[in-house]
Amino acid sequence: MQVNPSNPIIVQGDGKVLLETQHTEFDRARDFLARFAELEASPDLLHTYRISPLSLWNAASAGMERDEIVETLRGLSKFDIPADVLGNITDTIGRFGLVQLQAHPETPRQWIRVVFATAYIEKLIKNTDAGRELLQRDGRRDWKLAAGMRGMFKQRLLLEGWPVQDLAGFADGEPLPLKLRERTLGGQDFSPRDYQRAAVKRWFMDGHPAGGHGVVVLPCGAGKTIVALTAMTTVQQHTLVLCNNETAVHQWVRECLDKTTIHESQIGIYSGKSKEIRPITVATYQVLTWRRSRDADYEHLHLFRDHNWGLLVYDEVHLLPAPVFGATAELQGCRRLGLTATLIREDGREGDVFSLVGPKRYDLPWQLLEKRGFVAEAQCYEIRVPFTGRDRDRYERSNNGQKFRFASENNAKIQVVRDLVNQHREDHVLIIGTYLSQLEELSRELGAPLLTGSTPQSERERLFKDFRTGKLRRLIVSKVANFAIDLPDANVAIQVSGSFGSRQEEAQRLGRILRPKDNPATFYTVVTSDSKEQEFAMKRQLFLTEQGYRYFIEERPAAK
């Protein structure tokens, strides 16, 4: 048995890998593990990774081989690698590339050639449901697949445990000469950071067919938009950007104009109010998935097909709606870039992101960016507030389906929020919640404006501008704050209600205050103690502490 206690990692039989953060080999081990394992927890002293089939397939798609993983892992491990883990690495990595998609030599726009490593693999795949339905003979020996079924084939085979290596390449879109500016329109020096350039390099792979599709994972505030702009100037082709709301659309337009040489006439907005299709077009997921009734067709998905796009950018790719997954499955001949702060999907469809948008190409923990001053240092507080006696009685009498919301809207929270706002009167404070009636009451009590999904875009822009300039220091926002809102001066967030135990939502809301600034970032969550809300808050708390954020709990006394 190998025993090297001076090494930095321990590999457990369940696929977990523990890494000592204070070890002299930490940086090398971290960079190595990030290539084939998912970071699950990152408290101060010990980071936890997990080796999973999806993480190994991501690694294989990026060019890692079984021997590189095993031998380097052995060289960093305190003890022998468990036999089950070695077997899983060998079997899982070994499956990647046994089924390949290649450009058809005669009719590449109509057909994709499917190549199997062995006759045995060919037999296995032919007998899957996807193989029986989608594969067709291409002469006597070869197999082919209709080009429009490329995404569906990959998606369905992944569910069967067969990760397809897609080497079919991409059709070029309309050309778009484009450069990054050296100075922004505001007169500031501009250049992508080293990790932003590295992310694009990993994604593009020098134009190799294996590159040009995939996901970049960076913390909120780390400049994912800059990654996309760099990718656009690398590809130099017409680009469709998809994002989560109209506010994000206008932010993308501003960033494109501010940091690239694109002319205003070359950027179009495709939303509920405007249907402009231009060399760079920015649209929302909502407009693409709109339909008149549940049984009607999606009227705007034609946007994917009606133009010769060279690049699709999926902002907040972890929120990709199911209909857009379908359209993405059809449009596999176009380069695709997904951007996200977390690949966690509460519906468990990370595999669909892998098969349809592409594998994870680049990931960087927030701690590294915090140390370099690229994201703000944050402290997290959970403030537990009891019910008043009468409300406690009403809570106990309510049914289980009502308890969470009843606890979330606990009236005793209002005084706590008022105290926190007074404590941070010199800061830029966002008050974030889920339930509109609660937020409306807070707006009245605090005399602060409320921004919701129904707030007109012109009013949103005015409020954001006032907040950025310091004219407004308190802003109450609904779930629209879960997504791209560019408020770089926000340094305090007070969360008064949330969506059960959503880790995704917690990461997004915390991200609203992580832009680097002079004042420290502080994130408060106000929860009702001894309630269903506290039970769900513990799940969110665990997520934050596992990511390495400093987390404190404060108990408030009952109101008199």
Backbone region of residue 192 per phi and psi (left: phi > 0; alpha: psi in -120 to 50; beta: other values): beta
Angle between helices 224-235 and 194-204 (to 10 degrees): 50
Dist. CA 101–CA 19, nearest whole Å = 37
Residue 400: what pLDDT?
A: 80
Q: Which H or E element spans position 29? A: helix 26-33
DSSP 2-22: -B-TTSSEEE-TTSEEEEETT
**pLDDT recorded at residue 438:** 93
Beta strand 280-284 with 239-243 is: parallel
Task: Provide φ and ψ at 268, rounded to 5°.
Answer: -120, 150
Instruction: Tell me where in the chain the CATH 3.40.50.300 domain(s) lie.
Output: 194-369, 376-555
Question: Which amino acid would we find at residue 25?
Answer: E
| Alpha carbons 178 and 229: distance in angstroms, whole number | 10
CATH code of the region 376-555: 3.40.50.300
pLDDT score at 560: 56
Quote the pTM value. Answer: 0.76
Return the structure tokens found at 350: 């990370």
248 burial via Cβ count (<10 Å: 0-12, 13-18, 19+)? buried
Residue type, 366: W
Average confidence (pLDDT) per 10 residues, the chain, 560 residues: 85 93 88 85 81 88 90 93 94 92 91 95 94 92 91 90 91 94 91 95 91 88 92 97 85 94 94 87 86 78 86 88 77 90 71 86 79 78 88 86 88 92 90 91 93 84 84 86 64 82 62 68 89 80 66 76
Cα separations in angstroms, 145 against 111, 112, 329: 6, 5, 13
User: In the CATH scheme, what is the code of domain 194-369?
Assistant: 3.40.50.300
What pLDDT score was predicted for residue 1? 62
